[in-house]
């Protein structure tokens, strides 16, 4: 059929129609749920948006095919494939393809991205990626004279402007919902937001901005262990009133206090940055481990099974590959590997002040059931599919709750190890980079813009243990991730011009 199209403008229009029909169901679902389509104005809005989508996409495709010819055709093929993948994630996990999500995608490693592979994704790629691409590649590109090309562009732009002004009564609604609408238009949602992501990234400092020098006030032996959780939401911790006993060990340990807290982001890169920076400036200042590593009186240890943090420039940095060398069993598959040899590493330190950062990956989906050893498979049945909507919510929550149960074990084990170092004044602080959606409002995992993100993606645990008792801790209200930086400085007795005692969770020392 496409071979019979002998005019470039008709071919571009046809491709635009295919693009609209195949990849814009979520877009129209949103419009239908948020516009008053029972009114004349609502019908005009829906009709106008449809016409604009078809005409504007056709115009861009027309220009691209005229200028780039065969290269333009291959770019459209690439669009079809990415459209198919984007549509899979939107339909399956309820994601929004905005600048934030693009940053999340670009900071995802192979291990995480491969966990999303499924039969359903393959079906999307075959029917929405490969088949339309094959049809397009077999279609010749008609020739068009430059004069006619320019006339077509001019008349199309005139029509678009006329339609836009005729629909001025709906501009306010479009402006109000522009962020979500723009995130659902294919292929421009990811094209524009990828450009925005790299533009903003280029505006940031390539090197972390140095912070003023610090000094240690005394030589009391102190250890601060900061545990950065992954996708842990506070409402599934029994310490926060959850009816299922997901914290059987922490609930029995003395000197443990849990605060209410909110994350400043819904994806790892931004969440970890908030945890490690001294305040929210929008700039990349020296992060906590790099800042303290410059102090000759402080030893800094970083262990991670995760990724996405700002560049860590310290001597004692161990990722999963390095940690694997410490074990000879299958524990390297799970986050308890972060504790292997840690006590010995602390004892080997020649400094009295020690900061340990453990960056976990325990509760990251969609394969929650793979994030903990079999013996922690307590809450049954569990979801074993990466297509989370195919599981019952009970199965999904059970699998997730088992990751929290495992987190409880890791934290309790860590506290037990710190108790075996009585010569140190010790504390452990656990908080998450962000929360997680588990099917509420048909949303899954995380990554929605903070402005529209549900509380499940923002409410995080903030759990503290102190060796000398919780009377050292303030009774704060809802904390932020930025409390961490100043709390660390306070506990390790680090004097710095940027230290803010009001942002510390510890009471002022007498």
Q: Does 385 have pLDDT greater than 90?
A: no
Neighbours of 12 (CB within 10 A): 26
Percent of the chain as helix, strand, coil, to the nearest 5: 55, 10, 35
Neighbours of 318 (CB within 10 A): 21
How does 230-254 read in b/e, with b if 16+ C-beta sit within 10 Å? Answer: bbbbbebbbbbebeeebbebbeeee
Sorting pLDDT into bands at 50, 70 and 90, what band is 331? low
Length of the chain: 510
Sorting pLDDT into bands at 50, 70 and 90, what band is 259? very high
pLDDT tens for residues 276-316?
999 988 888 999 999 999 999 999 999 999 988 888 999 99
pLDDT tens for residues 185-216?
899 888 888 887 776 666 555 588 999 999 99
Mean pLDDT value of segment 97-107: 71
Mean pLDDT value of segment 163-185: 74
The pTM is what? Answer: 0.76
Q: Does 491 have pLDDT greater than 60?
A: yes
H or E stretch covering 29: helix 25-34
Q: Does 381 have pLDDT greater than 60?
A: yes
Gap between the Cα atoms of 77 and 64, Å rounded: 13
Quickly tell me which residue has 């499924």 as its tokens: 118
Helix extents (H) in 277-338: 288-293, 320-324
Q: Does 176 have pLDDT greater than 70?
A: no
Gap between the Cα atoms of 388 and 436, Å rounded: 13
Gap between the Cα atoms of 177 and 197, Å rounded: 20
Inter-residue contact 436 to 233 (CB < 8 Å): yes
Sorting pLDDT into bands at 50, 70 and 90, what band is 317? very high
Judge if the upstream peptide bond of residue 366 is cis by omega within 30 degrees of 0: yes
Gap between the Cα atoms of 47 and 34, Å rounded: 15
Q: Does 120 have pLDDT greater than 90?
A: no
Q: What percent of the chain has pLDDT over 70?
A: 93
pLDDT given for residue 198 in this prediction: 77
pLDDT given for residue 102 in this prediction: 72
pLDDT given for residue 321 in this prediction: 87
Classify 338 in phi/psi space as left (phi over 0), alpha (psi -120 to 50) or beta: alpha
Q: Does 510 have pLDDT greater than 60?
A: no
C-alpha radius of gyration, the chain, whole number: 27
Q: Does 489 have pLDDT greater than 80?
A: yes
Give residues with Cβ within 8 angstroms of 75, minimum separation 6: 64, 68
Residue spans of the domains in the chain: they are: 2-203, 215-503
Mean pLDDT value of segment 453-463: 96
Specify the CATH number for 215-503; select among 3.40.920.10, 3.30.540.10, 3.40.720.10, 3.90.320.10: 3.40.720.10
Q: Does 7 have pLDDT greater than 90?
A: no
Mean residue pLDDT across the chain = 89
Q: 419 or 268: whose pLDDT is higher?
A: 419
Mean pLDDT value of segment 318-331: 82
Neighbours of 221 (CB within 10 A): 15
Gap between the Cα atoms of 499 and 214, Å rounded: 10
Gap between the Cα atoms of 51 and 174, Å rounded: 15
- The DSSP result for 82-138, as a single string, is HHHHHHHHHHHH----SHHHHHHHHT--HHHHHTT--HHHHHHHIIIIIHHHHHHHT
Neighbours of 473 (CB within 10 A): 18
Strands 298-304 and 353-359, bridge-based pairing? parallel
pLDDT given for residue 247 in this prediction: 98
pLDDT given for residue 411 in this prediction: 98
Q: Does 108 have pLDDT greater than 90?
A: no
Mean pLDDT value of segment 461-484: 94
Q: 426 or 11: whose pLDDT is higher?
A: 426
Task: State the SS3 of 174-228.
Answer: HHHCHHHHHHHCCCHHHHHHHHHHHHHHHHCCCCCECCCCCEECCCCCEEEEEEE
Question: Exposed, middle or buried, 338 (CB in 10 Å: 0-12/13-18/19+)?
Answer: buried
First to last CA, the chain: 84
């Amino acid at each position: 059929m496409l071979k019979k199209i002998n005019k470039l403008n008709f071919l571009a229009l046809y491709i635009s129609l295919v693009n609209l029909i195949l990849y814009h169901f979520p877009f129209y679902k949103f419009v239908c749920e948020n516009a008053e389509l029972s009114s004349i104005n609502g019908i005009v809005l829906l009709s106008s948006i449809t016409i604009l989508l078809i005409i504007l996409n056709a115009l861009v495709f027309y220009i691209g095919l005229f200028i780039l010819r065969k290269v333009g055709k291959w770019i459209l093929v690439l669009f079809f494939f990415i459209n198919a993948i984007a549509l899979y994630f939107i339909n399956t996990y309820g994601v929004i393809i905005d600048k934030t999500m693009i940053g999340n995608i670009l900071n995802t490693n192979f291990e995480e991205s491969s966990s999303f592979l499924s039969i359903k994704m393959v079906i999307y790629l075959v029917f929405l990626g490969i088949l339309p691409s094959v049809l397009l590649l077999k279609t010749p590109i008609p020739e068009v004279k430059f004069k006619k090309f320019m006339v077509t562009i001019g008349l199309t732009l005139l029509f678009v402007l006329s339609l836009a002004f005729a629909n001025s009564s709906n501009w306010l609604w479009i402006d109000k919902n522009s962020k979500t609408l723009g995130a659902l238009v294919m292929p421009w949602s990811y094209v524009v937001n990828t450009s925005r992501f790299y533009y903003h990234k280029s505006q940031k400092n390539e090197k972390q901005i140095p912070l003023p020098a610090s000094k240690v006030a005394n030589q009391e032996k102190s250890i601060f262990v900061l545990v950065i959780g992954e996708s842990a939401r506070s409402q599934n911790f029994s310490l926060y009133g959850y009816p299922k006993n997901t914290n059987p060990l922490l609930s029995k340990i003395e000197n443990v206090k849990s605060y209410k807290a909110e994350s400043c982001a819904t994806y790892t890169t931004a969440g970890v940055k908030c945890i490690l920076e001294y305040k929210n400036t929008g700039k990349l200042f020296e992060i906590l481990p790099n800042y303290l590593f410059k102090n000759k009186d402080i030893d800094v240890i970083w262990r991670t099974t995760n990724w996405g943090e700002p560049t860590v420039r310290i001597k004692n940095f161990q990722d999963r590959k390095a940690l694997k060398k410490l074990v000879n069993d299958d524990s390297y598959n799970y986050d308890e590997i972060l504790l292997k040899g840690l006590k010995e590493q602390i004892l080997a330190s020649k400094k009295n002040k020690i900061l340990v950062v453990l960056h976990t990956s325990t509760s990251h989906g969609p394969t929650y059931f793979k994030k903990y050893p079999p013996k922690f498979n307590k809450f049954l049945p569990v979801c074993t599919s990466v297509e989370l909507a195919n599981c019952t919510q009970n199965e999904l929550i059970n699998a997730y709750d088992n990751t929290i149960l495992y987190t409880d074990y890791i934290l309790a084990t860590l506290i037990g190890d710190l108790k075996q170092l009585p010569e140190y004044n010790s504390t452990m602080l656990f908080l998450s980079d962000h929360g997680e959606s588990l099917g509420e409002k048909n949303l899954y995992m995380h990554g929605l813009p903070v402005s529209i993100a549900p509380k499940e993606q923002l409410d995080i645990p903030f759990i503290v243990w102190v060796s000398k008792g919780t009377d050292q801790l303030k009774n704060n209200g809802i904390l932020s991730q930025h409390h961490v930086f100043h709390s660390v400085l306070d506990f390790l007795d680090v004097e710095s011009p940027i230290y803010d005692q009001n942002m510390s969770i510890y009471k002022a020392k007498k």
